Structures are given as structure tokens and as C-alpha cells.
């Protein structure tokens, strides 16, 4: 089974996260490297708390639904908290 590492870009669905996996590709003529990204839908369990910006490892698995063929294996790094006072009034 393949294991990929990527960043969560969406967690709006129940039991599903969208993971963006980036890789470098070399141009055949000019030999310049450029970045290619692809999005995968991955299944998370009920206890899994994944947030946007987390770096996760996903593993290939049997089809869970029409689009999901991956599952989250582990959270490599948590996302940094962007704003501490979201929703709080500033005085």
C-alpha cells in the first residue's frame, strides 16, 4: 500500500478530509523543477481530530465511498494556531 504525506485543506465533511499532496517534477527539456499538487479525499475515524493545516500521512485502502480510497494513518504535525482571540471582543 502506498503512503503519502500532505496538508489538510478541508475538513468540512463528516469522517472525511481533503489532503493536498505536493511533489516536484522536472521539465523534460529545460530541466527546471516545478511543483505539482493533487488532492485526495481521506477517511478519518470518529475520534480523529484533524484540522486545516495539519500535516498528515495517508495510506491507500479499499474503496470507502465513491471518491475515498485513502485513510489518515497519523498526524505528523499539528497546524499552528493562527488567531487566539477569534470571536472574542477586543477592548
CATH code for the domain of 25? 2.40.50.140
Summarize the confidence of residues 71-80 as an average pLDDT.
Answer: 92
Query: Does residue 48 lie in a domain region?
Result: yes
What are 12-69's pLDDT values in tens digits? 999 999 999 999 999 999 999 999 999 999 999 877 688 999 999 999 999 999 999 9
Handedness of CA 51, 53, 55, 60 (dihedral sign): positive
Give residue 71's domain range: 3-77
Residue 87 lies in a domain: no
Report the number of distinct structural domains present in the chain. Answer: 1
Reading the block at residue 75, the C-alpha cell is 498526524
Q: Is residue 88 part of a domain?
A: no
pLDDT at position 1 is 86
Across the chain, the runs of DSSP E, i.e. the strands, are 3-10, 16-26, 33-43, 55-60, 70-77
Q: Is residue 91 part of a domain?
A: no
User: Does 29 fall in a domain?
Assistant: yes
Q: Give the pLDDT of residue 45.
A: 82
Amino acid at each position: 500500500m502506498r503512503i503519502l504525506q500532505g496538508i489538510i485543506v478541508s475538513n468540512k465533511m463528516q469522517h472525511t478530509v481533503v489532503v493536498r499532496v505536493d511533489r516536484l517534477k522536472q521539465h523534460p527539456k529545460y530541466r527546471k523543477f516545478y511543483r505539482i499538487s493533487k488532492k485526495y479525499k481521506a477517511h478519518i475515524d470518529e475520534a480523529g481530530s484533524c484540522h486545516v493545516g495539519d500535516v498528515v500521512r495517508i495510506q491507500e485502502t479499499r474503496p470507502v465511498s465513491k471518491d475515498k480510497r485513502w485513510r489518515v494513518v497519523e498526524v505528523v504535525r499539528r497546524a499552528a494556531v493562527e488567531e487566539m482571540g477569534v470571536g472574542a471582543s477586543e477592548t
